[in-house]
Structure 1
Amino acid sequence: MSYTDNIRPYVEAEINLAEQAHAAGNSSKAFTHLENAHVLGQNSTRLHVRTHWLMLRWSVRERQWRELLGQLLRIVGATTKTAVGLVPTGNTGGANVSPFKPMPVKPELAEIMERARNAPL
């Protein structure tokens, strides 16, 4: 199995938590879960683009126009740059940070990523 296959369930879990937070009316918590999904999935083009798409949807629902513009640019970047490894590790993916800035990875996410990298093939 590939890193993408191994990390996908964790990305999906964060997306599900984001949907639950949104349904409960907690948009801030929803976005935090999308950021976690972004950190986990940013080395997979499909998961990376999907997370930015969900962030774009969040920005429309929340009427966060700066975020919407940022996500449009990030979708293009994720589509064209992920496959060649141009992703800043730990970047949370929101428009509030530079798309080029590496960031520290939360310990719990770093542990998940390490397990996904080292899972038996």
Structure 2
Amino acid sequence: MTMTQSPQSRQRAAYDYLLQRWRTSVDAPTEQRWRYLEAAHVVGQNRLGLHWRAHWQMLRFARQLGDAPEARGQWARLGLTLVGHLVRRLPQGNIGRASVPALRPMVPSVAVRACITEAMQATQPPGTPGAQEMSPIDL
């Protein structure tokens, strides 16, 4: 018997997977670690709690790196997150970094999409097809 998972469960599992990869990648290059956070942002962007948490982790990481412009940008993004959800204006695919316009829809980079695909495949219940076919927009 094939176990089915709701889209919200798959989304949460993929999001948690990406944050776990970020946490355990302390020896990886900084840009790879950012990709995990960017991918988590894309995956969780349409759910307020996940969206907020992605920006909070980005803020913490920017502060850890001593990246003041990114940290300031993340403080602003935290403020915009609630507003964006209230007015239902969330630019799909936006990676959430301070270096990109907050309200611009984007197609995430190949590297970010690869992280999302990895997360979807890693969290897919055995025997269920289609993780590689699901885009972040489908979540």
Q: Same fold judged by TM-score > 0.5?
A: yes
1:111 aligns with 2:134: yes
Runs of 4+ in structure 1 deviating by more than 2 angstroms, as ranges, are: 1-6, 105-110, 112-116
Give the Cα separation in 2 of the matches to 1:112 and 1:97.
21
Q: Is the 1:52–1:75 contact (alpha carbons within 8 Å) kept by the matching residues of 2?
A: yes
Bigger helix fraction: 1
Q: Which protein has the larger Cα radius of gyration, Structure 1 or Structure 2?
A: 2
Of 72, 77, 84, 2:75 maps to 72
Q: Does 1:24 align with 2:47?
A: no
Report the TM-score, using the length of structure 1 for normalisation: 0.83
In the superposition, the TM-score normalised over structure 2's length comes to: 0.73
Q: Which has the higher contact order (CA 8 A, sep 6+)?
A: 2
Unaligned runs of 5+ in 2: 117-132
Contact residue 38 and residue 92 of structure 1 kept, 8 A: yes
Where do residues 91-102 of structure 1 align in structure 2 (5 Å cutoff)? 91-102=94-105
CA contact (8 A) 1:42 1:82 kept: no
- Structure 1: which 5+ runs fail to align? 117-121
**CA RMSD of superposed structures (Å):** 2.2
The count of aligned residue pairs is 115
